[in-house]
Amino acid sequence: MISVGKILPQRFACQNPSVYLELTEKNEGTMTSHKEWDTYLGEFEDYLKLELSLSDNSLKAYLSDVEKLQQFIELSDWELSPLEIKQDHLEQMLEHVCDLGLSVASQARILAGIKAFYKFLLFQDLISEDPSELLEGPRLDRK
């Protein structure tokens, strides 16, 4: 397994409370990609509701995490569907999230949502390899 700490030495766990996640702009040139993302996000939402019986808050968090990935891909000017994402793209997204100064817990939750999405795509036989499989989140301190 590849640890995020090995990929992004001590940067993944960085914290800067003055920086906020600003992945809200949409890139108009990626309409085909938008439709694909919307389709897979809808199917993922149905899966989370029906198969996993998640609470509304958990459901919203998982979907929000995957939407952050979608927005990052679009802001990076990559016209990629969720099925075309590779481990390198996810590593860059995690580095970006760290640079935004999100807490370690938020970083771990975002990664968990993305991993759940790719496990879903793998379960549905839409991808043959999980690009998130070798990624590990930051270590959370237990109280």
> 142 falls in which pLDDT band (50, 70, 90)?
low
pLDDT > 90: percent of the chain: 53
34-43 own/partner pairs: CB under 8 Å, 24+ apart: 36/81, 36/82, 36/83, 37/70, 37/81, 37/82, 40/81, 40/82, 40/83, 40/117, 40/121, 40/126, 41/66, 41/67, 41/70, 43/120, 43/124
Which of 111, 120, 107 is CA-nearest to residue 42? 120
pLDDT in tens, 122-134: 999 999 999 999 9
> Is 1 a residue whose pLDDT tops 80?
no
Question: CA 15, CA 72: separation in Å to the nearest integer?
Answer: 19
Angstrom CA distances, 44 to 12, 30, 133, 140, stand at 27, 21, 18, 27
What secondary structure letter does DSSP report for 24?
A: -
pLDDT in tens, 45-91: 999 999 888 899 999 999 999 999 999 998 888 889 999 999 999 99
Secondary structure (DSSP) of 41-68: HHHHHHHHHHTS---HHHHHHHHHHHHH
